[in-house]
Amino acid sequence: MRSVAHLDILGDTPLTRRVVTLSAAILVVGLLGEIYLVVTHGWGMAVGAWMAVYVAATVAALPVHELVHAAAFLLLGRGRVRIRFGYETGMLYTRAEGDPLTRGGFVAVLLAPSVLVTAALVLVGNAVAGPALAWALAWTHLSGCAGDLAMVACIARMPGCTHVRDTDTGVELLANDGDGDGA
């Protein structure tokens, strides 16, 4: 395996700028949708209670998001990864040390919380107060997934990348030159 690129999510200023821009775009679109849903469907409960549920679910989603990454790493890494959790620069993170994953496997790890946690938040929000809370929880969570989504886009655009290894600062994209699958 040879290295074809490194994605440094914290130190690569253009990548960091793309993450911030994507997050802000999701927040703006989400807020516009939220205004529409509150006007057309109402809050679904007392506003104070709605806000309390929104804040509690949003905060609870943060560690759950990382646990979903960890579960996906363990499942797709076939037990050949060691999971670490941390906090840096305002972000919780999950890191998997060990063998690289296939490109598709790593993309699945990155997307798992975006899909699973967002779906769970939509179900909870809809059950508790209706579409306005479901939408608010979904777009808030997805705005926090911007780093994962930006890395997926970078991985998808990298020609020759067959495997991805997690690193201290992001990921290393690898090419398999025929010396085994590397995973």
12-27 in b/e form (b: 16+ CB < 10 A) is beebbebbeebbeebb
pLDDT of 90: 80
How is residue 168 annotated by DSSP? S
* Mean pLDDT of all residues in 99-112: 96
- State the Cα angle at 71 between 67 and 72, rounded to 5°: 115
Q: 3-state class of 1 per DSSP? A: coil
CA 152/CA 181 separation, integer angstroms: 21
The share of the chain scoring above pLDDT 70, in percent, equals 97
For residue 182, being part of any structural domain is answered with no
Tell me which H or E stretch contains 101. strand 101-102
For residue 180, being part of any structural domain is answered with no
pLDDT of 182: 46
Q: Quickly tell me which residue has 């927040």 as its tokens.
A: 27
CA 26/CA 173 separation, integer angstroms: 27
The more confidently predicted of residues 158 and 10 is 158
Answer whether 0.85 is exceeded by the pTM: yes
For residue 128, being part of any structural domain is answered with yes
pLDDT of 41: 96
pLDDT of 179: 58
For residue 181, being part of any structural domain is answered with no
pLDDT at 36 over 80: yes
pLDDT at 84 over 50: yes
pLDDT of 180: 52
Domain limits for position 85: 2-175
Joined together, the tokens standing for residue 119 give: 């779906």
pLDDT at 10 over 80: no
Mean of all residue pLDDT scores within the chain: 93
For residue 61, being part of any structural domain is answered with yes
**How many independent structural domains does the chain possess?**
1
* Mean pLDDT of all residues in 79-96: 88
pLDDT tens readout for residues 110-164: 999 999 999 999 999 999 999 999 999 999 999 999 999 999 999 999 989 999 9
Cβ contacts of 87 within 8 Å, gap of 6 or more: 93
pLDDT at 183 over 70: no
pLDDT at 44 over 70: yes
> Distances from the Cα of 90 to the Cαs of 14, 38, 111, 121, in angstroms?
18, 30, 20, 22
